């Protein structure tokens, strides 16, 4: 039977009727373009000889995701910047000694799959500053004041673009000649499928759309010469709803040098609950803020379709930043549910890449975004929810007409026709148990990530009386 209506059955844990789902397997509403993936941000716990690093890169390899984003980032200049001092006739400061080990682990863990590279931190000496910018001698010491200056010393962007061309050449062309013509050989011949140009440019170095677009063009032109098959991604905005001019200006090809590639745009979202909120408030705050972000996505996509419809979209930082480092275990499930909820709507909207943020965090380093438990070096519920989604749903899957009634705002549901199965993704948005009726329950299997799975993979659940019981913030995939 093409259309299945699931009748309300036994009452749920709150004395309410079970959720009733309606699926029309013959009515395709969208063909998925969305890849579920994550970002990896460089920090000291990813350096060699850390147990967490070994476990994290193993988890990354096991996940097997495409389009993983890699970001050596500003709080650790020695781990992110390959030329920390300006060149002089006497010599240069090019040094990859601390950068290469993590880079090789990342590229080894993602071998055979596409990646998004972003060495986002610009050498400070390229900017005009009142005094030279200092940084700690200890590469593991966090330092938040490295990205000083707004105007480049070379306003043409030539110095900036040459830095990135040499950096890319180190990894794709076996080395480069420095500013004095001295050859630096690496022996590396990696491929960079996608290069994202800088990060959160609406914050870092206080860029404007005009200033960023000029820098983007210069960097893209220089990298293209040494890596001609690389595609390019722009913006990586921290606050995409703050000013639509970023999208209006950047996506207008008339504002770029002729022939400049705008293959992707990217931007970010983090739910940010207020201090003192508990899971009982999170169950509304997280998803209300997500709905606001989804409205931003619709608005931005209207601009993209009008100005540059061939440009794809990567939402490469999706997560929650808590105002505290004291994190209850149920948080990991709540955050998993938030990403899964976003994945459903972003897939419905045809967004190309949905990236969970991020592989490793820990106290003092955004612990609430971590996908690894830094206390036991195991992947947490966020990782396992992403793996469940990544293993189940792929570009080319067909979304079919799906609705849910009887208090359906508490559970999000979307059915997919995949090459191998008929699947239903269920997300419990609430901090309480919800019951959902299933069609043809005798032939259905359920994999769920919830409180009981802890730091383990999705578990099998047997439907009872035609229903699946979703514990607080559970993420489940039903398969027939």
Domain boundary among 395, 410, 428: 395
Query: What does the pLDDT average to over 218-241?
Result: 98
Domain boundary among 395, 429, 444: 395
Do residues 118 and 196 lie in contact, with contact meaning Cβ atoms separated by under 8 Å? yes
Residue 21 confidence (pLDDT): 86
Do residues 116 and 69 lie in contact, with contact meaning Cβ atoms separated by under 8 Å? yes
Indicate the average pLDDT of the chain. Answer: 95
Residue 4 confidence (pLDDT): 38
Residue 31 confidence (pLDDT): 98
| Four-point Cα dihedral 296, 297, 298, 303, nearest 10 | 90
Query: What does the pLDDT average to over 107-132?
Result: 98
What band does 7 get if pLDDT is binned at 50, 70 and 90? very low
Residue ranges making up the domain that contains 386: 34-395
The answer to whether residue 33 scores a pLDDT higher than 80 is: yes
**Of the given ranges (9-18, 250-259, 319-328), which has the lowest mean pLDDT?**
9-18
For 195-216, the pLDDT digits (tens) are: 999 999 999 999 999 999 999 9
Residue 436 confidence (pLDDT): 94
| pTM (2 d.p.) | 0.95
CATH no. for residue 264?
3.20.20.80
Residue 407 and residue 379 in one domain: no
The answer to whether residue 1 scores a pLDDT higher than 60 is: no
DSSP summary character for residue 410: G
Residue 251 and residue 344 in one domain: yes
The answer to whether residue 388 scores a pLDDT higher than 70 is: yes
The answer to whether residue 184 scores a pLDDT higher than 70 is: yes
For 364-375, the pLDDT digits (tens) are: 999 999 999 999
- The whole-angstrom separation of Cα 339 and Cα 287 is 10
Residue 408 confidence (pLDDT): 60
- The whole-angstrom separation of Cα 11 and Cα 243 is 47
Residue 363 and residue 466 in one domain: no
Query: What does the pLDDT average to over 90-119?
Result: 98
Residue 13 confidence (pLDDT): 44
For 129-149, the pLDDT digits (tens) are: 999 999 999 999 999 999 999
- Rounded to 5°, angle at Cα 472 from 468 and 477: 45
Residue 128 and residue 210 in one domain: yes
The answer to whether residue 400 scores a pLDDT higher than 70 is: yes
Of residues 454 and 2, more confidence is placed in: 454
- The whole-angstrom separation of Cα 159 and Cα 123 is 10
Residue 228 and residue 272 in one domain: yes
Residue 378 and residue 448 in one domain: no
Residue 381 and residue 411 in one domain: no
117: β partners:
70, 195
- The whole-angstrom separation of Cα 150 and Cα 107 is 32
CATH no. for residue 445?
2.60.40.1180
Domain boundary among 395, 414, 435: 395
Residue 440 confidence (pLDDT): 83
Residue 77 and residue 165 in one domain: yes
Measure CA of the first residue to CA of the last residue in the chain; give whole Å: 14
Residue 24 and residue 52 in one domain: no
Do residues 251 and 303 lie in contact, with contact meaning Cβ atoms separated by under 8 Å? yes
Q: Which tokens go with 188?
A: 């590396």
Residue 320 and residue 375 in one domain: yes
Residue 294 confidence (pLDDT): 98
The answer to whether residue 395 scores a pLDDT higher than 50 is: yes
For 255-293, the pLDDT digits (tens) are: 999 999 999 999 999 999 999 999 999 999 999 999 999
Query: What does the pLDDT average to over 58-69?
Result: 98
Residue 57 confidence (pLDDT): 98
Residue in 281, 267, 477 with CA at minimum distance from that of residue 385:
477
The answer to whether residue 9 scores a pLDDT higher than 80 is: no
- Rounded to 5°, angle at Cα 210 from 209 and 215: 95
- The whole-angstrom separation of Cα 124 and Cα 152 is 9
Residue 370 and residue 408 in one domain: no
**Bridging pattern class, strands 115-117 and 68-71:** parallel
Residue 370 and residue 445 in one domain: no
Number of domains in the chain: 2
Do residues 109 and 57 lie in contact, with contact meaning Cβ atoms separated by under 8 Å? yes
- The whole-angstrom separation of Cα 393 and Cα 420 is 11
């Amino acid at each position: 039977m093409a259309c299945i209506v699931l009748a309300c059955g036994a009452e749920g844990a709150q004395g309410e009727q079970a959720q009733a789902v309606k699926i029309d397997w013959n009515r395709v509403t969208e063909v998925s373009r969305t890849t579920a993936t994550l970002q990896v941000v460089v920090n000291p716990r990813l350096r060699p000889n850390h147990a967490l690093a070994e476990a994290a890169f193993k988890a990354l390899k096991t996940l097997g995701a495409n389009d993983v984003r890699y970001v050596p980032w500003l709080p650790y200049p020695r781990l992110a910047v390959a030329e920390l001092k300006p060149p002089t006739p006497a010599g240069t400061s090019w040094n990859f000694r601390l950068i290469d080990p993590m880079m090789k682990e990342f590229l080894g863990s993602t071998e055979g799959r596409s990646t998004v590279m972003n060495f986002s931190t610009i050498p400070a000496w390229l900017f005009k500053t009142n005094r030279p910018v200092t940084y700690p001698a200890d590469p593991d010491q966090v330092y938040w004041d490295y990205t000083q200056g707004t105007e480049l010393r070379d306003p043409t962007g030539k110095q900036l673009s040459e830095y990135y061309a040499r950096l890319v050449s180190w990894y794709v062309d076996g080395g480069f000649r420095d500013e004095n013509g001295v050859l630096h050989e690496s022996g590396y011949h990696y491929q960079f499928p996608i290069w994202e140009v800088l990060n959160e440019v609406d914050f870092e170095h206080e860029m404007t759309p005009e200033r960023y677009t000029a820098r983007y063009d210069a960097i893209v032109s220089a990298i293209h010469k040494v890596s001609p098959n690389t595609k390019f991604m722009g913006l990586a905005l921290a606050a995409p709803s703050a000013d639509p001019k970023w999208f209006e200006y950047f996506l207008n090809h008339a504002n770029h040098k002729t022939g400049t590639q705008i293959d992707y745009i990217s931007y970010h979202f983090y739910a940010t609950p207020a201090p003192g909120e508990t899971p009982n408030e999170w169950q509304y705050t997280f998803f209300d803020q997500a709905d606001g972000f989804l409205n931003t996505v619709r608005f931005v996509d209207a601009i993209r379709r009008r100005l540059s419809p061939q440009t794809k979209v990567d939402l490469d930082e999706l997560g929650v930043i808590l105002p505290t480092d004291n994190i209850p275990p149920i948080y990991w499930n709540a955050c998993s549910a938030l990403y899964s909820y976003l994945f459903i709507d972003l897939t419905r909207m045809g967004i190309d890449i949905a990236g969970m943020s991020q592989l490793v965090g820990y106290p003092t380093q955004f612990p609430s975004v971590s996908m690894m438990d830094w206390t036991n070096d195991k992947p947490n519920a966020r990782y396992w929810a992403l793996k469940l989604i990544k293993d189940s749903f792929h570009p080319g899957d067909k979304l079919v007409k799906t609705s849910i009634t009887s208090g359906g705002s508490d559970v999000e549901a979307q059915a997919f026709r995949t090459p191998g199965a008929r699947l239903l993704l269920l997300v419990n948005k609430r901090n309480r148990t919800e019951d959902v009726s299933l069609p043809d329950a005798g032939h259905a299997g359920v994999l769920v990530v919830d409180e009981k799975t802890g730091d383990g993979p999705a578990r099998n659940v047997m439907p009872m009386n035609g229903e699946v019981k979703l514990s607080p913030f559970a993420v489940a995939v039903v398969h027939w």
